[in-house]
Chains A and B, each alone.
Chain A
Amino acid sequence: MFTRVISIPHQLQQVRTSALRRREAIWGFLFLTPWIIGFFGFQLLPILMTIFLSFTDYTGTKEFAPGNFNFVGLDNYARLFSDLYAVPAMGVTLKFALIGIPLGLVVPLYFAVLVNSRYLIASNFFRTLFFMPTVIPIVAGTIIFGGVLNAQSGWINLSLKAIGIEDPPRWFSDPFWAVPALNLLGVWSSGNAMLILLAALQGVPTELYEAATVDGANAITKFFNITVPMISPVIFYNVTLGVIGAFQYFVPAMLIGGLNGDPQRSLLFFPLHFYREAFSFSEMGYASVLALLIFVVTMIATGFLFFFVQRLVYYAGAD
C-alpha cells in the first residue's frame, strides 16, 4: 500500500514529463522546419541529384524528364581516367593552395601583429585600412587587380621597370606567373583573416607575456612560445577555411583567365573545369562526377587537417 502510494506520483511525474517533452519537441521541430525544408530542398536534394546524374548521360539542353537521358552505369566515372584536363586542373588548384594557404596565414598574421602593436599610432585607422579590401566585392577586386598586374600599364610592372627590372613578369599572360598573381589578389583581401587573428591576439593573457619578460624572453621567443600556441586554434580555423576555399576557388580565375583558363589553361582550376563541363559543354552527367570528386577531395583534405594537424593545436581550456 505504502509502496503504491509512492509509486503513483512517480508515474504521474513521468507521464507529465514526457508530455511536456513531446510538446517541446514538437515546437522545436516546428521552429526548425524552415531550416529542415531548406536543407532537404536546397542541399540534400541537389546532392542526391548530383549522385543520380553522375550515372546518366543527361545534357542541359533538354528537359530533365524520363526519355531525355539514359543510365550509363559507371561510364562517367571511367571517363575521369581519360580526361586530359582533370589532373592538370587539380594540379592548378593544388598549386594555388600550396602557395595561397601559407600566404593566407602568414600575411594576415603579420598584419594582425602590426596593428596590435602598442607602438602603433592610430591603430584603428590602420585596422580599417587593412580590412577595407575585404569589403570590396570579389569581382571588383579582380577587375582592379587585372589592371594593377597588366604587364604593360599595371603600376606594379611600371614600378619594377622604374627600379631597373627590364623584363618584369607578364602576370596574366605567362602560365608560370598566373597562379601566383591570383595569390597576390588573395593576400590583398586578407583583412577578414587578419581581423580574426587580431581578436585572437587580444585574447592572449597579458600575464603570460609579463612572466616571460621577467624570465628574460625576447619578443621573438614570446611570439613563438606564447602567441603562436595561444592562438593556434584560430590559426587552425583559418587554415581549414583556407583549404576549403582553395578547392572551391573559381570566380577570380574565371574573370581573369576566362572559361579557357588562359594563359594556356594555367588558370583552369578544378571548379572551372567542372563549370565548363556542366554549363559550357552541357555534360551534366560527367560534370556531376567532377563535382562529387572535388567534394570527396575537399573532405579528405579537411579530414586530414582534423586528424593530423589538429594535434598541433593548443587548447588552453582543454587541460
Chain B
Amino acid sequence: MRKLFVLPLLIAVMALLVVGCAAPAPTVPPTQPPAPTTAKPAATQPPAPAATQPPAPTATQPPAPTATKPAPPTPTIPPTVVTSTEGCAPGSTKIVWYIGLGTGSQPDQIPVEKAWAEKFNKSQTEACVVLTVVYNTGTNSYDALKAMIAAGNAPDIVGPVGKMGRASFQGAWADIAPLAKEAGFDLTKYDPALLEFTKDEGVLVGIPFALFPSMIYYNKALFDEAKLPYPPQKVGEKYQGKDWNLETFTELARKLTVDKNGNDATNPKFDPKNIKQFGFFEQWTDARGIAVFFGGGLPYDPKDPKTAVIPEHWKQSWKWYYGGIWKHYFMPNADYQNSDLLAKGNPGSSGNVAMWWCHTWYTCCFDLSKTKWDIAVLPTINGKVTAKLHGDTFAIMKASKNQKVAFKVLAKMVTDTGLMEFYGGMPADPKDRPAFFAALDKKVAPNKINWSVAEEMLKYPDLPNHEAWLPNMIKANDLFTAFRNKMDQTPNLNMDEEIEKLRKDLDAVFKAAP
C-alpha cells in the first residue's frame, strides 16, 4: 500500500519541481518583443494594434522598443502616470498628451517627457501640457485610449505613434494641413514623399518626425567563425565576386546555418531537427513586412480597393520565406524562434543568428556594445533593392476641443531636436543626422557601425509602404499576422493554396469595409 502511494507521489513532486525550476518563456512569445528594461529608446514602432500585433507565437511583432537591453517580459505593468497642471500659466489651455501607442511609456522615459512638458509650460502662457502615460503592452494602452474617447475625455495629442497605431483608431485623427496653414507652419520644407508617408487615407495626420529605415544587421563573430567575408555595405558592391542578389544572399544564409554536428545547411548531412545557429531571420514584422523584401506593393487593386489582389513579387517573397524555414532551414520556425536558443522570441539578440533584417529601432533590443556587429545593405532582388521604412509622429485627435493650441504644442514637439534624439528616430532632415549618429556611436562603442548604410537604405523605401492604409485595416492586418504565424508554425503547406486563401479572406474583409 505504501509503495502504491509513494511512486506516483514522487513522480508528481518531481514534475512540480522541474516545472517550477524551468526557465520561463516569454509571455508574449514570439511576436512580442522583450519588454525593455532601460530606456533611451531607439525605436518607435509600436507594438501594434491589438488584433494585428498580439503576443503571438511567432516573432513577427515589432517591439515595444526603447531599451538598450532586452529583458524577459514582466507580468508587472507599471501604473499609469498622469501629471498635473502645476506650474502652468493661469488661464492657459490644458492640452493632454497621451503616450502609449508607441515608444515613450517605459518608466525611465517618463521623467524626460515630464521635464519636457514642464519646460514647455514655463516657456509660454497659451498651453498647459499634461501627460497621460499608459504602459504599452500592445493592448492595454489601446484599451485605455478607447475608454478615454468613449467617456468623452479624448486626449489632444497622441504620440509617438506609427501607422499601425493610428490604424487602430481609424478616422479619429484630425487633419493637420489646415491647422498648419492657420498657424503659418511651413510644410514645404519637408520632403513630399515623407509628407505622403505621414498621410492616412489621404489625410495628413502628422508632421514627419522620426524615421526608421531597415537594413541587414549581422553578427561579425559568426562570420569570423565561418571564415566568410562580411556582407556589402554599399548598394552595387559584390560579395565574393558575385552580385549581392537573392541567390548569393540565400547561399550565404545557408552557409551560416549550422547544426549540432557542425554541418552547415548546404551539407547533405545537415540535421534540421538540431539546428544551433541560423543564417537569417526577418525580425518582428508581419506578412506584409516579409512581402516587401521583394518590393513594395499593395494587396488590392488601386482602382478598386475593395478587391484583393496579391502582387506576384509578394507571392515570390512569401514562398522564398517559407522555403527558407521549412526547406532550406536557414530561417527559424516558430518553435526555434521561441526557444532558449534564440532568446525566446528575440532571435537577433541571441548571438545565434548571423544576419537579421530589421529597422534602426532594433538598436533598442540587443546588447549594442558586447555583441560584435555591424549593418549591411539589403540584396538586390528582381533588379531592385527595397528597405522597408517606419516612421513615427505625433497626431491630434479629431475629438480634441483645442486643436489649434494642440497644433502649436505639436509643432514644438516635432521640431525639438532634443525630443527627437530622445525617441531615437533618425531625423527626417539630413543636417540633423550627424549629431544623431554621434549619439548612437557612444552607445555602440567599442563597435564602430557604418551608419551610412542606414542613410543609404533610406533611398530605397518600400513604396507603397508595408504599413500603408488598407480597407478595413485592423482586420486585414489581423489576417496578415495570422498568415505569417501560419508560415512560421506549419510545415508542408501548399503555399499557392495558402496565398489564394489569404486573398479570398482579404477580399471579404475589404468588401466589408465601411
Q: Interface of A with B (CB < 8 Å)?
A: 60-65, 110-111, 114, 117, 119-120, 126, 129-130, 132-133, 137, 139-140, 142-148, 150-155, 166, 170, 172-174, 188, 219, 254-260, 262-265, 276, 279-282
- Whether A264 contacts B489 by the Cβ 8 Å rule is yes
Interchain CA distance A111-B338 in the complex, whole Å: 32
Interchain CA distance A64-B152 in the complex, whole Å: 7
- For A173, the chain B residues whose CB sits under 8 A away are 57, 333-335, 489-490
Report if A61-B172 is in contact (Cβ < 8 Å); known contacts: A143-B75, A260-B478. yes
- For A63, the chain B residues whose CB sits under 8 A away are 149-152, 154, 399
Q: Which of A64, A143, A170, A259 lies in contact with B139, CB distance below 8 A? A: A259
Chain A residue nearest to B479 (CB atoms) is A260
- For B475, the chain A residues whose CB sits under 8 A away are 281
CB contacts under 8 Å to A, within B237-259, are none
- Whether B19 contacts A144 by the Cβ 8 Å rule is yes
CB contacts under 8 Å to A, within B387-431, are 399
- For A150, the chain B residues whose CB sits under 8 A away are 25, 335, 338-340
- For A130, the chain B residues whose CB sits under 8 A away are 12, 16
- Contact string against A for B residues 1-39, beta-carbon threshold 8 Å, 1 for contact and 0 otherwise: 110011011001100101110111111110110000000
CB contacts under 8 Å to A, within B447-494, are 474-475, 478, 481-482, 485-486, 489-490
- For B24, the chain A residues whose CB sits under 8 A away are 140, 143-144, 146-147
A-B pairs with beta carbons under 8 Å apart, 25 shown: A61-B146, A61-B170, A62-B149, A63-B149, A64-B151, A65-B152, A110-B8, A114-B8, A117-B5, A130-B16, A132-B16, A142-B27, A143-B24, A144-B22, A152-B338, A188-B16, A255-B27, A258-B481, A260-B51, A262-B485, A262-B489, A264-B482, A279-B50, A280-B51, A280-B52
- For B8, the chain A residues whose CB sits under 8 A away are 110, 114
- For A281, the chain B residues whose CB sits under 8 A away are 51, 474-475, 478
Contacts between the two chains (Cβ within 8 Å), count? 191
The 6 closest A-B pairs by CB, nearest first: A258-B56, A258-B54, A259-B54, A146-B25, A280-B51, A147-B25
Interchain CA distance A166-B23 in the complex, whole Å: 23
Q: Which of A129, A146, A172, A280 lies in contact with B16, CB distance below 8 A? A: A129
Q: Interface of B with A (CB < 8 Å)?
A: 1-2, 5-6, 8-9, 12-13, 16, 18-20, 22-29, 31-32, 49-52, 54-58, 72-73, 75, 139, 142-143, 146, 149-152, 154, 168-172, 273, 333-336, 338-341, 344, 399, 474-475, 478, 481-482, 485-486, 489-490
- Whether B13 contacts A140 by the Cβ 8 Å rule is no
Smallest beta-carbon distance A157→chain B, Å: 9
Additional pairs, 13, CB under 8 Å, beyond known A61-B169, A143-B75: A114-B12, A133-B16, A139-B27, A140-B75, A145-B25, A146-B25, A146-B26, A150-B335, A150-B340, A151-B335, A172-B29, A173-B57, A280-B51
- For B170, the chain A residues whose CB sits under 8 A away are 61
- Whether B5 contacts A120 by the Cβ 8 Å rule is yes
Chain A residue nearest to B481 (CB atoms) is A260
Report if A111-B150 is in contact (Cβ < 8 Å); known contacts: A146-B24, A150-B338, A155-B22. no
- For A148, the chain B residues whose CB sits under 8 A away are 19, 22, 25
Report if A256-B29 is in contact (Cβ < 8 Å); known contacts: A219-B1, A279-B139. yes
- Whether A280 contacts B340 by the Cβ 8 Å rule is no
Smallest beta-carbon distance B166→chain A, Å: 11
- Whether B19 contacts A260 by the Cβ 8 Å rule is no
- For A152, the chain B residues whose CB sits under 8 A away are 335-336, 338-339, 341
- Whether A259 contacts B50 by the Cβ 8 Å rule is yes
Q: Which of A144, A155, A255 lies in contact with B28, CB distance below 8 A? A: A255
Interchain CA distance A62-B172 in the complex, whole Å: 8
Interchain CA distance A119-B341 in the complex, whole Å: 44
Interchain CA distance A148-B16 in the complex, whole Å: 11
Q: Which of B22, B149, B273 lies in contact with A61, CB distance below 8 A? A: B149
Interchain CA distance A174-B160 in the complex, whole Å: 37
- Whether A147 contacts B344 by the Cβ 8 Å rule is yes
- For B28, the chain A residues whose CB sits under 8 A away are 255, 258
Report if A260-B22 is in contact (Cβ < 8 Å); known contacts: A61-B149, A119-B2, A153-B340. no
Interchain CA distance A188-B12 in the complex, whole Å: 10
- Whether B335 contacts A60 by the Cβ 8 Å rule is no
Interchain CA distance A282-B58 in the complex, whole Å: 25
Interchain CA distance A109-B334 in the complex, whole Å: 36
Interchain CA distance A126-B13 in the complex, whole Å: 8
Interchain CA distance A62-B75 in the complex, whole Å: 30
Q: Which of B152, B399, B489 lies in contact with A263, CB distance below 8 A? A: B489
- Whether B149 contacts A143 by the Cβ 8 Å rule is no
- For B29, the chain A residues whose CB sits under 8 A away are 146, 172, 256
- Whether A132 contacts B51 by the Cβ 8 Å rule is no
Report if A262-B5 is in contact (Cβ < 8 Å); known contacts: A129-B16, A150-B338. no
Q: Which of B12, B56, B143, B273 lies in contact with A262, CB distance below 8 A? A: B56
- Whether B490 contacts A263 by the Cβ 8 Å rule is yes
